[in-house]
Structure 1
Amino acid sequence: MKRLVLVAAVAALAATSLTVVQTAQAATTSITIDGTQGGRTFDGIGAISGGGGNSRLLADYPEPQRSQILDYLFKPGYGAALQILKVEIGGDTNS
């Protein structure tokens, strides 16, 4: 009986080790660039503020520093000169 169990276990192990795993094929995407056609209009330079609602912390700065931070971010020809800032929408009162 022990021999039969051992043979069955070895056979099961051999069968599982010989199982061929099929990998998923990646989808192929074709991109064509045509300079004669119109495309999306350039909207500007921007950034994303995310990761825990850190944009909310700007309100905690005193006024002179808050204005300096906003100038570094958005003032044209100065600092980052961003036109767009996407801000995370928080999920609670502290966000």
Structure 2
Amino acid sequence: MADGLAQLVSLREQRMPLDERAELLAGTLCNLAEALCATVTDWSLSRPLLPLAAVSAWVAAGEFVLANFGDLGEAAWDYAVRHLRVQLAAGHAMFTADVA
């Protein structure tokens, strides 16, 4: 998660075309979402259990993106949140299918 946060900071500082920044921003946030899913400690719950440190890093990433990337950040964050929801739902469904 720390590497993903560092990548977000470097994206803010780099000069690049807007479309490239958008792609890298969304990709970095989706990678962070997948890293967050990898920290789940209990998939048996309808809302998988996550460590506080991982959730805190996710929230910090969102705050940083929303504060520093304007409309682009808002769109990328919305996309990443949807991606996280899908990943968490899929992980729970796979766990349930394996257990049942």
Range class of TM-score, shorter chain: under 0.3
The structure showing larger relative contact order (alpha-carbon pairs under 8 Å, at least 6 residues apart) is 2
Q: Which has the higher strand share?
A: 1
Rg larger for: 1
The two structures have a TM-score, normalised by structure 1, of 0.25
The two structures have a TM-score, normalised by structure 2, of 0.25
